[in-house]
Amino acid sequence: MFKTVLESNHALGWKVGNRLFKPSQMPLIMGIVNVTPDSFFDGGKHDTPQSAYEHAVQLLQQGADILDVGGESSRPGSTPVSEQEEMDRVCPVVESLAQLKGISQDLDNPGNREFFISVDTVKAKVATECMRLGAHIVNDISACTMDSDMAGVVAKTGASVVLNHIRGNFGTMQQDFTPYKDVVQEVRQELLVQVKKLLDLGVEKEKICVDPGIGFGKSVQDNIDLMKSVEDFLQDGYPVLIGTSRKSYIGKIPGLESSDRLVPTVAAGIVAALGGASCIRVHDVKEAKESILYLEAMRSNGTV
């Protein structure tokens, strides 16, 4: 399955910084760094810039390729924060991580290995400041729809971008959404509308990555259908990011009601990789990295 998907992959690869990650490579691991008191899984664990930075360094040591720094929870029912509060949370972390890159020759220090910084925000001003401080990626869970200036920021700064699909907003997305008739095709088409807006502004096609938005205004079956259909999204010519880490829909699957969702998350990452995803976004980097390395070993030996 895996080899077949790679051979038929129409995605151009994902350009981040000066690197072009080819679709034939195993997926990048994006580690989640939430500088928030109320995120659905790890809210409050790393809610100061210093503790978030320390957590980010741990994720690098565990094998993260990208660090996704966010200062506003997107869990259903969460309360939006001001631009200034979000910047106060994320900017010191982004700045510290950017300074970490390349400063050490110690092989045991994560600053000696290449990694990239992403900012998880829907606010144009936050994205602008983080890019100035050294971030490489804007990860917008609204696909540049919640702030009319965001697409322009992506174009002006030269950022790579993740367009995440969502209907509704943080407070309503799970309670007030129109059921899908064909979730895969509808999500694909809605993402392509946003892609076109970026292309029209001059954003390089290779810098755009799409995310079907697992858990963002979807039913359990919708999420499962999207997880099974990564290859369908590749037909549009864009790399795919999958973010399903520890999400609540997992606990609604029969038999997984009491799960801590770690093992299903690892399994979902393998499914995403087999489907051709270019990046998987996770809280548990060590477990995700080990599973992908194992999959790579199987692939190199012609097993999958």
Catalytic hit among 15, 188, 247, 261: 247
Q: Say if residues 52 and 15 touch (Cβ distance below 8 Å).
A: no
CA distance 289 to 62: 8
Angle between helices 124-133 and 83-100 (to 10 degrees): 20
CA distance 284 to 263: 10
Active site residue 281: yes
Active site residue 247: yes
Q: What is the largest CA-CA distance in the chain?
A: 54
Q: Measuring CA to CA, how many Å separate 39 from each of 54, 75, 101, 171, 187?
A: 18, 6, 27, 13, 25
Query: What's the gap between Cα 8 and its chain centre?
Result: 23
Cα angle 116, 118, 121 (rounded to 5 degrees) comes to: 175
CA distance 238 to 192: 10
Instruction: Please report, in angstroms and rounded to a whole number, the separation of the first and last CA atoms in the chain.
Output: 7
Whose tokens are 């051979």? That residue is 7
Partners of 161 in beta bridges = 138, 208
Cα angle 12, 231, 242 (rounded to 5 degrees) comes to: 85
Catalytic hit among 123, 218, 281, 289: 281
**Active site residue ranges:** 247, 281
